[in-house]
C-alpha cells in the first residue's frame, strides 16, 4: 500500500434519513471505497460512536460539537433549514404554552435541545421531559406532546394534533436558518489520500448526491409517501447543505443559548478541517 495512505480505513458513520441522503450519496456509491468504511446509525448513535472513537467522522447533531472534545467541522457543509424544515417538529395535543409533559425522540440531540429552548424562551413553559423511542402513539399516550425527527416525523399521522415546525419557529424568532447537523471529524482521524484532501472528499459526495436527486427522490417516494414533487422541494428548498455566514451566526446563537440553559458544558469557537 502507498505509505501516504491511512494505515486503517477512514470510518464514517452514515445516517439513513432522507435529509442526509445527498451528503451520503457519493460514499454510498463507491467514492473513496478503498479508504472508507461505512457504518449506518441514527444521529444519536452516530454521536456516541464518534465520542468513543469507534468512527472517525459522522453527520452529527450540531449540539454534539460542544459535547464531544477534539472535533473539527468539515467547512462549507451541514444539514440546515432556511425557514421551514417539514421533518423536525413538536406534535402536540395542546397549545405549546400549555405543554407540561414532553416525549423526546431518542434518535435526536439538537432537535430536542432546540425544542426545549423554544418552549422555555418563546412559550414560557418548561415541561417534564422523557426520552422515548420514536413511536408517536406511545409518546402521546403518556405526554402532552412529542418531539420527532426525520422520516418517522414525515410519515406521522397528525390528525387532531398541533404541529410546531422547529426550524420555522427558530426562523420566526431569530430571522436565521437552523443548523441541525454537521459533518464532524475527530482530530486523530487519518487523512484521506485523495485530490483536495479530506474536506474535498465530503464535498464530492454531496456533489454526486445533488447530481442524482431523481434517484434519491424515487427511493424516498416508495417509503415516505410524499409525492415526488414534495420530496424534490423538500431536498432543494426546505433543506440546505451550505454552511455559510448566516448558518454560522445561527450556530453561535444556538450554542450560546444551549450553554446558558445547561444543555452543553461550554461554548466553543467553530474549528474547521483545513
pLDDT at 226: 93
Nearest alpha carbon to residue 102 among 9, 164, 60, 190: 164
- Give the helix ranges, DSSP H, for 41-109: 43-52, 64-67
Q: Provide the pLDDT for residue 62.
A: 97
Q: Are strands 128-132 and 88-92 parallel, antiparallel or unpaired?
A: unpaired
Q: Is 192 helix (H, G, I), strand (E, B) or coil?
A: coil
Chain length of the chain: 274
Residue 81, C-alpha cell as written in the block: 433549514
Instruction: Note the Cα 255 to chain centre separation in Å.
Output: 15
- Rounded to 10°, the helix 213-224/197-211 angle is 70
Give the long-range contacts of residues 28-34, CB within 8 A, separation 24 or more.
Answer: 29/208, 31/201, 31/204, 31/205, 31/208, 32/192, 32/194, 32/201
Q: Which residues of the chain have pLDDT under 50?
A: 1-6
Residues 234-263: pLDDT tens digits?
999 999 999 999 999 999 999 999 999 999
Which pLDDT score, from 0 to 100, does residue 222 have?
87
Which pLDDT value is given to residue 133? 93
Helix (H, G, I), strand (E, B) or coil at 65: helix
DSSP SS3 for 195: coil
What's residue 6's pLDDT? 47
What are the strands, taking DSSP E only, across the chain?
10-14, 36-40, 57-61, 71-73, 77-81, 88-92, 101-105, 128-132, 145-149, 162-165, 178-186, 240-242
Q: For residue 76, what pLDDT is reported?
A: 98
Q: Is the dihedral of CA 155, 161, 251, 116 positive or negative?
A: negative
Amino acid at each position: 500500500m502507498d505509505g501516504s495512505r491511512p494505515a486503517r480505513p477512514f470510518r464514517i458513520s452514515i445516517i439513513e434519513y432522507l435529509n442526509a441522503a445527498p451528503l451520503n450519496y457519493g460514499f454510498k456509491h463507491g467514492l473513496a471505497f478503498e479508504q472508507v468504511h461505512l457504518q449506518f446509525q441514527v444521529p444519536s448513535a452516530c454521536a456516541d460512536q464518534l465520542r468513543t472513537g469507534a468512527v472517525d467522522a459522522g453527520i452529527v447533531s450540531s449540539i454534539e460539537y460542544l459535547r464531544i472534545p477534539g472535533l473539527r467541522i468539515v467547512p462549507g457543509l451541514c444539514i440546515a433549514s432556511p425557514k421551514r424544515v417539514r421533518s423536525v417538529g413538536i406534535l402536540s395535543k395542546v397549545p405549546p404554552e400549555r405543554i407540561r409533559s414532553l416525549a423526546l425522540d431518542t434518535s435526536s440531540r439538537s432537535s430536542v435541545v432546540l425544542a426545549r429552548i423554544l418552549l422555555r424562551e418563546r412559550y414560557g413553559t418548561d415541561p417534564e421531559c422523557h426520552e422515548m423511542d420514536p413511536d408517536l402513539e406511545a409518546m402521546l399516550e403518556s405526554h402532552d406532546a412529542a418531539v420527532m425527527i426525520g422520516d418517522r416525523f414525515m410519515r406521522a399521522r397528525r390528525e387532531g394534533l398541533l404541529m410546531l415546525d422547529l426550524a420555522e419557529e427558530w426562523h420566526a424568532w431569530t430571522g436565521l436558518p437552523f443548523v441541525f447537523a454537521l459533518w464532524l471529524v475527530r482530530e486523530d482521524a487519518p487523512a484521506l489520500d485523495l485530490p483536495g484532501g479530506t474536506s474535498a472528499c465530503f464535498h464530492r459526495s454531496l456533489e454526486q448526491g445533488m447530481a442524482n436527486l431523481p434517484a434519491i427522490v424515487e427511493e424516498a417516494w416508495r417509503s415516505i409517501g410524499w409525492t415526488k414533487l414534495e420530496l424534490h422541494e423538500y431536498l432543494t428548498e426546505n433543506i440546505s447543505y451550505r454552511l455559510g455566514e448566516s448558518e454560522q451566526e445561527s450556530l453561535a446563537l444556538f450554542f450560546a443559548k444551549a450553554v446558558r440553559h445547561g444543555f452543553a458544558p461550554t461554548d466553543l469557537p467553530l474549528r474547521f478541517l483545513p
